[in-house]
Amino acid sequence: MQMQKKIHCLLQPVAKKCNNPTTCVPYVMRRCCLFLLLCGVMAVVSCQYSDEWSTVNAVTYDGSQQFGLSFPDYLTEEKTRRLNKTAPVQYCNYFRNFYAIADDTVTANDYRQTAAQETARLLTLLDHAQQTDTQSLQINGLPAFMVGIAGNVGNKDINERIFYRLIFIQGTARVYRVNLWVWDKNRAKYAAVMDKIARSFKVLN
């Protein structure tokens, strides 16, 4: 309704100035083109993001511990749980095809064993799967393991190669999991961002 009012205001002066509608057409077209150009500029500006990051805090499944992660401002919370039915942290950008979830498991307390099991499971689910790299590291004082996997997802009509960055972090009587994924063709573009997200993980209590 507000947009309709704006269009009406743009065209209203034309009706007052022109007695002959045929002579007004070029003027109306110029005004309409200007309006559409401004809308295009607004759309481009709305897709630009700052370099700011924000920290998100979450609670483990059993409610006994809290943990946090940082995300760039172009990733927003997916409140409808489309990425995962239960994960307390779900962030994404559908335009950039960048997705992130984080949770924990109290059914296993060995991060390396969990990493091996879930890596093997993902490799069997993907078509033309490839394990690209692995890394043992410390994340804010906690032992962790990071693995990269690329594989095809979809069917004959829609098929895309996806890159997954899986991070497994040893907690107290649990393993924390951070899963990030992007289109494989954008892997290099977002490699540093995914690494920064992974290394931002903290246990808060």
Q: What CATH number has the domain bearing residue 118?
A: 3.40.1000.10
- Check: CB of residue 126 under 8 Å from CB of residue 149: yes
**In a shared domain, residues 36 and 57:** no
On whether both 15 and 93 belong to a single domain, the answer is no
Q: Give residue 156's pLDDT.
A: 77
148 and 111, same domain (yes or no)? yes
How far is residue 31 from each of residues 12, 18, 24, 43, 44, measured CA to CA in Å? 11, 14, 11, 19, 20
Are 139 and 115 part of one and the same domain? Answer: yes
41 and 101 assigned to the same domain: no
Rounded CA-CA distance 7/123 in Å is: 54
Q: What domain range is 143 assigned to?
A: 53-203
From its phi and psi, is residue 94 left (phi > 0), alpha (psi between -120 and 50) or beta? alpha
Residue 69 CB-half CA count within 13 A: 30
Strands 202-203 and 175-183 turn out to be unpaired
Which residue intervals of the chain are DSSP H helices?
2-17, 21-46, 111-125, 187-199
What pLDDT, on a 0 to 100 scale, did the predictor assign at position 143? 98
Bin 140: left if φ > 0, else alpha if -120 < ψ < 50, else beta: left
Same domain, 94 and 188: yes
pLDDT (0 to 100) of residue 4: 40
Same domain, 156 and 194: yes
**Does 41 lie in the same domain as 69?**
no
Within 8 A by CB and 6+ apart from 124, the residues are: none
Residue in this structure with the two tokens 């979809």, named with its chain if needed: 154
Strand partners, 139: 142
Statement to judge: residues 59 and 135 lie in one domain: yes
**pLDDT tens over the chain, length 205 residues:** 434 433 344 333 433 445 554 445 454 445 544 555 554 444 444 456 668 999 999 999 999 999 999 999 999 999 999 999 999 999 999 999 999 999 999 787 899 999 999 999 999 999 999 999 999 999 999 999 999 999 999 887 889 999 999 999 999 989 999 999 999 999 999 999 999 999 999 999 8
* Domain co-membership, 83 together with 152: yes
| 103 and 182, same domain (yes or no) | yes
* Shared domain check, 35 and 64: no
Rounded Cα–Cα distance for residues 75 and 130 (Å):
26
Give the separation between CA 150 and CA 4, rounded to whole angstroms.
47
Q: Pick left, alpha or beta for residue 153 (phi over 0 → left; psi -120 to 50 → alpha; otherwise beta).
A: beta
Count of domains for the chain: 2
**Which residues lie across from 130 on neighbouring strands?**
150
Cα–Cα distance for residue pair 168/152, rounded to 1 Å: 23
